[in-house]
Amino acid sequence: MIDEVSALAALLAGFSSRRILCVGDVMVDRSIYGEVKRISPEAPVPIVRVARESSELGGAGNVVRNLATLGARVAFATAVGDDRAGRTVVDLLARLPGVEPYLRISKARETTIKSRFFSMDGHHLLRADRETVQALSAQDEADLDRAVLGAVADVDAVILSDYAKGVLMGNFAGKVIAAARKAGKAVIVDPKGADYGRYRGATLITPNRSELAEATGAAVDSHEAIVAAAHQLREKIDVAGVLVTRSGEGMTLVTGDGVHHLPAETREVADVTGAGDTVVATLTLALACGAVPAVAARLANVAAGIVVGRHGTAVATPQDIVSALNLNSNGADQKVATRAEALVRVMEWRRQGLKVGFTNGCFDLLHPGHVSLLRQARSVCDRLVVGLNSDASVKRLKGPERPVQTEAARAAVMASLSPVDLVVIFSEDTPLALIEALRPDVLVKGADYTKATVVGAEVVESYGGKVILADLVASHSTTATIAAMKTSRKG
């Protein structure tokens, strides 16, 4: 497992030297969060009091966002309307490093906007779409054609991100694939619709289970049926491989060399929005770096497992993926979460009537004092959340030579301990903001503190929670251990 992690991490390191061409349907994903406290008197629907909202690139734009986050340089060709949302696309693309966009501004189109409404605790309430669904005009297609065909020779791979809004309808997809094959470039397609003939000759195609059924007309109600349908599709449109994404059941890769099934990453799902974009971006970069399809799919599966644990149109960084790989190697990946993920997990525990505890620290070099603190903390609650200082905050608190271990390594150690149910890395010097967000029932610190000096004590007690000071194990300290090691070296 360690050798595999090292190999995949080395593959990730090569992403920054790759340039990818992405062609497809861009959109704006708006997320609107609000409080839901009552039902409308006009109809049996919730009233949402909007508290905050944000906009991100969606569709093919989210593929580009994932590619940029993974460190790649990106050429992006798409069409937008001459409207406010189109200008939002321009602004959002300008914020991404290494992205060279070619946007065809079309008077005949409306830029797609998907607005998703959520309660403050992340429950999805409603989605509203504004869009144009029609093929590009001859003039729009000719303009994009020139831009795309001019870029093919200078990239390492090509992605077609089809959201069935019009950019890849008609003959355009076929022309891009033909140009890429002539230039010896791999083409990876995230497909839509029932007619996959326009993707003929692509290298690899990534339908989900329902898309595979629509494209083949075959049953996909078992593993064997999915494999048979994927073989049928592969032969029908002359592609080297089909990667079927199967939601909670993982992925199945079917190539001429065989069948590979990748189980889903074992973590709680918060939101599947955009997970397919993460898959196609990671998969393409891995293939562009020389990985065989099975290895590329493995890395894409890990990345997908990260983003489905986050709300909204999320992305995975190389650091996220490396941390997940390290955690997967010891089976503790479910226990490490972002702040947003932790909030969802804690709310679910509360719905089950469980008492949530919290403690925090740097936990740089684990010693018996740490273990005792964690055991005592877990004994006064049903689920224990550990707040872990990030590397940057440890340096600010402890000095430039600390931490000895990275935050990923410290999180992996914490997550492997049986008293710990969840680990959340925080970047601030104190866990106050994390405590305010999670609102634990019990806050536990060592008896070297007083209630007056425990960060977050007033917050917890303000809503009826308890602050508990755990007994100390004498003569154990990370700082003292490091000092003793330095003395030993000098001796």
Point out the residues that are catalytic: 277
Cα–Cα distance measured from residue 243 to residue 58, given in angstroms and rounded to the nearest whole number: 22
> Are the C-beta atoms of 19 and 155 separated by less than 8 Å?
yes
Taking each helix axis from N to C terminus, what angle separates 293-307 and 318-328, rounded to the nearest 10 degrees? 100
Picking from 153, 255, 244, 145, the residue whose alpha carbon sits closest to that of residue 203 is 255
Cα–Cα distance measured from residue 134 to residue 173, given in angstroms and rounded to the nearest whole number: 15
CA–CA distance from 96 to each of 36, 183, 376 (Å)?
34, 27, 46
Q: How far is CA 106 from the centre of its chain?
A: 32
> Are the C-beta atoms of 289 and 18 separated by less than 8 Å?
yes
Q: What tokens does 446 get?
A: 């060592």
Cα–Cα distance measured from residue 215 to residue 435, given in angstroms and rounded to the nearest whole number: 49
Could you count the other beta carbons within 10 Å of the beta carbon of residue 182? 11
> Are the C-beta atoms of 441 and 382 separated by less than 8 Å?
no
Residue 361: phi and psi, rounded to 5, are: 165, 180
